[in-house]
Structure 1
């Protein structure tokens, strides 16, 4: 299958918003394309994240979204691989791996020390994918959240 991975821009907002909505539904959130579109538009306008798209036949079928962080022991920038999604009709074609590889290349291009990610324990597909793409499971840390 022919595909390309390219950096998204504001011009891709409508296509990205549809995929982002499907991603949120995967994580048991209610569908809201317009609210997701507003969220993504703000990320684009404020340069707060980087999104790469998987393109097949001139159609966006997957994406990865990265946020800049800083690593306290390496004293360098790193990227949080926050969101990774491939449309169900295009899964099993190695597009997730290609998006991850592009994210790794982005680390090199931006002089970042690496990528980190978090996924649910129930995400069986992701929990098989990430070790295959070079991620190491960190069983030493607990991740906690505080929501207002």
Structure 2
């Protein structure tokens, strides 16, 4: 299946938001297309993330969202691969790998030292995919969250 990957812009908000909503539902969040759309619009307007869309047949079928971080030991920019999603009807066609490859290329283009990601232990698909794409499991660190 032929495809292209494009850097998303505000013009792609509706398609991106539809996929983002499905992604959130995958992670057991209530569907809220409008709230997700407002969230993404803010990211676009404030240049707070970079999103790439995989396009096939003239429509967006998957996305990856990257946030800029800084790595304290390498003293360089690093990208957080925060969100990766391919519509269920288009899985198994290599689109996730293509989005990860594009994210790696983005590191090269922006002078970043690499990508970091986190996924749930129960995300069987992701936990098989990421090592296949060259990611190394970091068993030395515990990740903690603080929410207000």
Aligned-partner Cα distance in 2 for 1:91–1:56: 12
Q: 1:60 maps to which residue?
A: 60
Q: 1:7 maps to which residue?
A: 7
Q: 2:121 maps to which residue?
A: 121
Query: Within 5 A, what are the aligned runs for 1:103-118?
Result: 103-118=103-118
Deviation of 1:12 (Å): 0.2
Aligned-partner Cα distance in 1 for 2:82–2:58: 25
Aligned-partner Cα distance in 2 for 1:95–1:111: 24
RMSD of equivalent CA atoms: 0.2
Deviation of 1:130 (Å): 0.1
Q: 1:41 maps to which residue?
A: 41
Q: 1:73 maps to which residue?
A: 73
Aligned-partner Cα distance in 1 for 2:6–2:131: 24
Aligned-partner Cα distance in 2 for 1:109–1:54: 19
State the TM-score, normalizing by the size of structure 2.
Answer: 1.00
Once the two structures are superposed, residues 101-142 of structure 1 have per-residue CA deviations (whole angstroms, 9 ceiling, x without a partner) of 000000000000000000000000000000000000000000
Aligned-partner Cα distance in 1 for 2:70–2:24: 26
Q: 1:26 maps to which residue?
A: 26
Matched position secondary structure for 1:141: coil
Matched position secondary structure for 1:13: helix
State the TM-score, normalizing by the size of structure 1.
Answer: 1.00
Aligned residues: 148
Matched position secondary structure for 2:139: coil
Task: Mark the runs of 5 or more structure 1 residues left unpaired by the alignment.
Answer: none
The ranges of structure 1 where at least 4 consecutive aligned residues each deviate by more than 3 angstroms after the TM superposition are: none
Aligned-partner Cα distance in 1 for 2:78–2:58: 31
